Amino acid sequence: MAEKVDEMPEPLSAKYVDQFAYPTVKDRLPVILTKVIDTVYQYKNTAAEQHGEAGKEDCKFIVSKLSELKNAIQTDKPLTVLADGRGDVSIWNKAIQKEIDDHGNKHPSWFKSPWLLTECYMYRKINESIRMSSKLQEFDPFGEQKRSALKNSHDACIVLANYIHDITKDNKDVTYEQFSKILQIALWGNKCDLSISAGVENSQNVSPLLYLNEMASNILVDSTQQVWQALLEARKNGKQTRVDIILDNMGFELFSDLCFAEFLLRTSLAHSIHLHYKVMPWFVSDVTREDFLWTLQTLKDSPNEVLSKLSETWQNRLQDESWVIKGDDFWTTACDFRQMKSKAPHLYDDLTSSSMCFFKGDLNYRKLVGDLNWNHTTPYELTLGGFHPSPHCALRTIKCDLVVGLQEGRAEEITKLNADWMLGGDYGVIHFCDLIEK
C-alpha cells in the first residue's frame, strides 16, 4: 500500500481569495444560477401547455426558490438542510451537521466552508427546488445546452467514428500507438465542460485527431504505458475483463468515451464496459441516463451512415449487456471517494469487480484526491486516502488550481508562461494507480 501523509492539507475553500474556489463562488455559481432561472422562466409557457396552470405555477415556484439560493450565495448565508425526500438526503444533512460539529456549532456557509461541499450543494439545491414542484420533477434545466453541445460537435463525431472504424475493421491486433491515441482523445474530450464556461456553449468543432501531437507536451503526467500494460495483463490472464468508465460531460466528451469503450471491446482489451452516469442534472453538463439514451437515439437518427450504424451497435450492446449503464446517488453527493467505502459500500464493492476504472474529468479528480490543497509534487497515490477498490486511471484536463504528481519545478515553469494555466483545460493528466485493497 501507499505511504501515508503525515499532515493532511486543508480543503480548498472560497475563504482563500487566492484560490479558484473564491471566484467560482463569487462569480461563476451566481452566473450559472441566473441562466437556470432564465431557463425556467422562459419554460413557463411550455409548462402551461403541458400541465395547465399548475405547470406555470411550478415555474414561478422554482424561480422563487432559485432566486433565494442565489441571494444566499451572494450574501454568504448558512447552508440549510435538504427536505425533498430523496434517498440521499441523510448523507447531505449528515455532511452539513458534521461541518457544524467540527467548527464549534458554526453553520457552513458559501465563502467559509469546503469548496467541494458548497459547489455540489448548489446543484443539489437546484434539484431540490425542481423536485418539490408538482409537475416538473423530471425537468432538466441544463438539457437544451447539453443537447446543443452534441449537435454542434457533429462533424468531429463523424471524424472520430470513421477513425474507430478504420483501425478496427480488419481485426488486426491492437497496437500501443492506437491505444495511446484513443486514450488521448478521451482525455482531451474533457475540455468540453459547460460548468467551467458557466454554461456558455463549448463544443468540439474541429477534428479531435488534428491536435494530438500539438497537445502531447501538455500532458503533464502520462501513465498511458502503465494503463496499457495493465489491460494487456488482464487480457493475457484470460479472465472476462470488465472496464468501468465513470462519465463526466455530455456532448463530444460522452461520444469520445463511447468510442473508447467500443475500441476496448473490438480489440478484446475488455469484454464488458460499465458506464456510470449521474442520477440528476449535475454541474451543468454531466451525463444523466436520459442524456445517454438521447445521445444514442440522436446518433441513430443522423443522416450520416457511420454515426447511425455505430449507434445501432451501441444499442445492441445495451441489449446483450456488453455495455451496462448504471447510476448511484453517491456520485451526486459532496463526498470524496475516500468516503465511498463507508457511505456507499455497495458501490465500492461493485468497483472491486472491475479490471480497470477510468475516472473522467475535473470533479471526479477533485473527489479522488479529496479536494485538498496538495503540493503539486505530492505523489498521486498518497492523495487517494486509501481509495483502492481496483486499478484505475484518472483522465482529466486541468480546470482548477489542484493537480498532483508533477515533477519538481514543472508547475513553476508553466506559470512563467501562463499564470492561469490551471484554469482553462489546456493541460491534462493521465494518472494510473494499480494499488488494490487486499
Confidence band (pLDDT; 50, 70, 90) for 435?
confident
Across the chain, what does the average pLDDT equal? 92
Mean pLDDT, residues 124-129: 98
pLDDT of residue 202: 46
Q: Edge-to-edge strand order for the sheet containing 428-433?
A: 219-222, 428-433, 392-397, 356-360, 242-246, 272-277, 323-327
pLDDT of residue 173: 84
- Residue 383 grid coordinates: 492523495
Q: What is the DSSP letter of 24?
A: I
Confidence of residue 170 (pLDDT cuts 50, 70, 90): confident
Residue 389 to residue 386: CA distance in whole angstroms: 9
C-alpha cell, 169: 475493421
Which residue in 234, 254, 126, 271 sits closest to 194, CA to CA? 254
Q: Residue 329: is its pLDDT beyond 50?
A: yes
Which residues make Cβ contacts (< 8 Å) with residue 402, sequence separation at least 6?
12, 365, 366, 369, 371, 372, 373, 374, 422
User: What pLDDT sits at residue 406?
Assistant: 98
Q: What pTM was estimated for this model as a whole? A: 0.95
CA distances to 165, 187, 421, 432 from 426, rounded to whole Å, are: 28, 11, 7, 20
Give the tens place of pLDDT for each residue, 330-340: 999 999 999 99
State the pLDDT at residue 196.
45
Enumerate residues 6+ apart whose C-beta is below 8 A from 392.
356, 357, 358, 359, 432, 433
Q: For residues 399 and 403, what is the distance between their CA atoms, to the nearest angstrom?
A: 9
Least confident of 124-138, 166-180, 359-373, 381-395: 166-180
The per-residue pLDDT for range 29-77, each reduced to its tens digit, is: 999 999 999 999 999 999 999 999 999 999 999 999 999 999 999 999 9
pLDDT at 240 over 90: no
| pLDDT at 199 > cutoff 60 | no
pLDDT at 370 over 60: yes
The contacts of residue 407 (CB under 8 Å, 6+ apart) are 377
pLDDT of residue 250: 94
CA atoms within 13 A on the CB side of 196: 22
Comparing 204 with 182, which gets the higher pLDDT? 182
Four-CA torsion 267, 193, 111, 277, nearest 10 degrees: -50
Pairwise CA distance, residues 26 & 122, whole Å:
13
Using pLDDT thresholds of 50, 70 and 90, give the confidence band for residue 200: very low
Q: Domains for the chain: give ranges and CATH numbers.
A: 21-131 (1.20.930.60), 143-433 (3.40.50.10880)
d(CA 235, CA 33): 47
For residue 297, give the 3-state DSSP assignment.
helix
Q: Is the pLDDT of residue 324 over 90?
A: yes
| 3 state DSSP class of 425 | coil
- CA distances in angstroms from 20 to 26, 28, 266, 371, 382, listed in the order given: 10, 10, 41, 12, 23
Per-residue confidence band for 2, with pLDDT thresholds at 50, 70 and 90: low
- Distances 5 to 115, 273, 379, 431 between C-alpha atoms, Å: 22, 34, 10, 19
Q: What is the pLDDT of residue 209?
A: 80
Nine-digit cell string for 138: 423530471
C-alpha distances in angstroms, 35 versus 42, 81, 145, 198, 351?
11, 24, 11, 9, 36
